[in-house]
Amino acid sequence: MQIEKYKLEEHNHSLQKEHQRKFDFIAADIKDVNGLLQKLIDFQVAIPSWALGTGGTRFGRFPGGGEPRNLEEKIEDIGLLHALNRSSGAISLHIPWDIPENASHIKALAAQNGLKFDAMNSNTFQDQPDQELSYKYGSMQHVDKAVRKQAVDHNIEVVKYGLELGSESLTVWLSDGSCFPGQLNFRKAFQNTLESLQEVYAALPDHWKMFVEYKAFEPNFYSTTVGDWGQSLLYTSKLGKKAYTLVDLGHHLPNANIEQIVALLLMEGKLGGFHFNDSKYGDDDLTVGSIKPYQLFLIFNELVEGMDAKDMNHATDLGWMIDASHNVKDPLEDLLQSVEAIMITYAQALLVDRKRLAEAQNNNDVVTAQEILQQAFRTDVRALVAEARLRSGGVLNPLSVYRSEKVRESLIKQRGSKTVATGL
Ligand code: PSV
Ligand code: MN
């Protein structure tokens, strides 16, 4: 579904005066406002192909209707988000949930919607109906070499699909681990996994990156074979320069200092990408910024500081993706909220007075350091984010257009009320 351009313009026109007042107010306090806006305009967050449907829990799933029935419709949904916010210009595919049967057609459709292909995601955490060997006891860690080979071959196949689409990275998330003490020999599980990853790495094109995602627990509850950033870093360091660690915000044990993890991975040149979401307890997959917005700000603060220290391009040198889906919201509204939260937090991190912060740190002036961070965090930057959207052809308030144009109702009419998108 597409919203006609004149409707977007009408919407912007109706909010323009109020927006201008708010924008002028904040712009007056910023030294290089155009430079900051350009960074916001350039920053794009990939949407995963599995987030367009209402997510499930292991207790049930309550689809909301109008969910995309195939990859084409998923691309259209992301195209719509991108038309509204101009910050969701990429799609990340999960194989086999979204196999591009006709790559050139899918590529052309994505291009029409202004979308690029972000990281490809493999799946060895579920058994597929036509699959020969089971992943019940793991995939790349498996005691049986034949199972490991099947997992390796699958990842290589995912790279092939990605090559056809113009993607340049592979994300490997393994659910491998154990549920009970004694079930696994940790060292052998690690070595098997490393060997399997090395085989995939060897098949990776030179211009590609491999992201190794870690997760503390779930579905395994006693041990996870890539359980934390230390283990991921161990694998990626042994693999080589095309391998990086991927941080998913929901994959840590409670109270982990994620901002410090990010700072150190960046320092080592081993941070590759991000999966954004929020959580209260674990891998809750809640809307970005809905539970711990200050933590998100502190993470972005380290990202900006660490990337600038290495002269990295904020928009292109790391992979940015949302990884969330849940039961109770319209997934498209939820994604609009998540992207907005990311843009707001990025803008706040760009406002941190880094020179003064460094001085405060050198003087052990703890109070001033906190004041500087909270000054940025407490700044209402929404008009800056809206102005960036406006300048790049989007709308001032994406959620309000989505609702006033009755997008979900149209999608239900078009696709039906009982559709269920592929994913979890
Ligand atoms: C696992 O919880 C994960 O974060 C991985 O990134 C998967 O690819 C994705 O979620 C599947 O929903
Ligand atoms: Mn993830």
Cα-to-centroid distance, 323 and ligand 1 (Å): 7
The whole-number pLDDT of residue 5 equals 95
pLDDT at position 97 is 95
Sign of CA dihedral 214, 115, 49, 157: negative
Q: CATH: 3.90.1150.10, 1.10.3720.10, 3.40.50.1000, 3.20.20.150. Which one for 5-415?
A: 3.20.20.150
Question: Quick check: CB of 98 below 6 Å from ligand 1?
Answer: no
Nearest CA to ligand 1 atom 7: 173
Three-state secondary structure call for residue 247: strand
Rounded CA separation 292/220 (Å):
26
Instruction: Please report the pLDDT score of residue 420 as a whole number.
Output: 85
Cα 345 from Cα 297, distance rounded (Å): 5
Residue 62: pLDDT over 90 = no
Determine if ligand 1 sits within 6 Å of the CB of residue 244.
no
The pLDDT of residue 203 is: 98
Distance 390 CA to ligand 2 centre (A): 30
Decide: 384 and 26 in contact? Cβ < 8 Å. yes
pLDDT of 161 reads 98
204: Cα separation from own chain's centroid: 22
Q: Which one is predicted more confidently, 231 or 60?
A: 231
Q: How many Å is the maximal CA-CA distance in the chain?
A: 66
Residue 58 clears pLDDT 90, i.e. is over it:
no
CA of 383 to the centre of ligand 1 (A): 33
The whole-number pLDDT of residue 17 equals 98
**Mean pLDDT, rounded, for 323-347:** 96
50 alpha carbon to ligand 2 midpoint, in Å? 11
pLDDT score at 113: 98
70-74, 84-88, 324-328, 347-351: range with lowest mean pLDDT: 324-328
What's the 324 CA to ligand 2 centre distance in angstroms? 8
| Rg, C-alpha atoms of the chain | 22
**What pLDDT was estimated at residue 185?**
98
Band (338; pLDDT cuts 50, 70, 90): very high
Q: 419 falls in which pLDDT band (50, 70, 90)? A: confident
Q: Is the pLDDT of residue 42 over 90?
A: yes
259 lines ligand 1 (CB under 6 A): no
Taking the model in full, what pTM does it have?
A: 0.98
Nearest-angstrom CA–CA distance, 320 and 318? 6
CA pair distance 229, 214, nearest whole angstrom? 6
Order of strands across the sheet that contains 319-322: 116-117, 90-92, 46-48, 319-322, 271-276, 243-248, 209-213, 169-173, 120-121
Instruction: For ligand 1, say whether the CB of 216 is within 6 Å of any of its atoms.
Output: no
Q: With a 6 A CB cut-off, is 50 part of the ligand 1 pocket? A: yes
The per-residue pLDDT for 233 is: 98
Q: Is 275 in the pocket of ligand 1 (CB under 6 A)?
A: yes
- CA 86 – ligand 2 centroid, Å: 23
Residue 234: per-residue pLDDT? 98
| pLDDT (mean) for 389-397 | 98
| Mean per-residue pLDDT of the chain | 97
Q: How far is CA 110 from the centre of its chain?
A: 18
Q: 51: which DSSP letter? A: G
CB 173 less than 6 A from any atom of ligand 1: yes
Please work out whether the CB of residue 405 comes within 6 Å of at least one atom of ligand 1: no
Give 175-211 pLDDT, tens digit per residue: 999 999 999 999 999 999 999 999 999 999 999 999 9
424 has a pLDDT exceeding 80? no
Question: How sure is the predictor about 358, in pLDDT bands with cuts at 50, 70 and 90?
Answer: very high
Residue ranges of domains in the chain: 5-415
Ligand 1 atom nearest 173 alpha carbon: 5
The fraction of the chain above a pLDDT of 90, given in percent, is 95
Q: How far is the CA of 53 from the centre of ligand 1 (A)?
A: 15
- Could you tell me if the CB of 121 is within 6 A of ligand 1? yes
The mean per-residue pLDDT over the stretch 84-110 comes to 97
- Residue 112, classified by CB atoms within 10 Å of its CB into exposed (0-12), middle (13-18) or buried (19+), is exposed
Q: What letter does residue 278 receive in the DSSP assignment?
A: B
Task: Please give the helix or strand (H or E) that residue 49 lies within, else none.
Answer: none
pLDDT at residue number 169: 98
The answer to whether 375 touches 30, Cβ cutoff 8 Å, is no
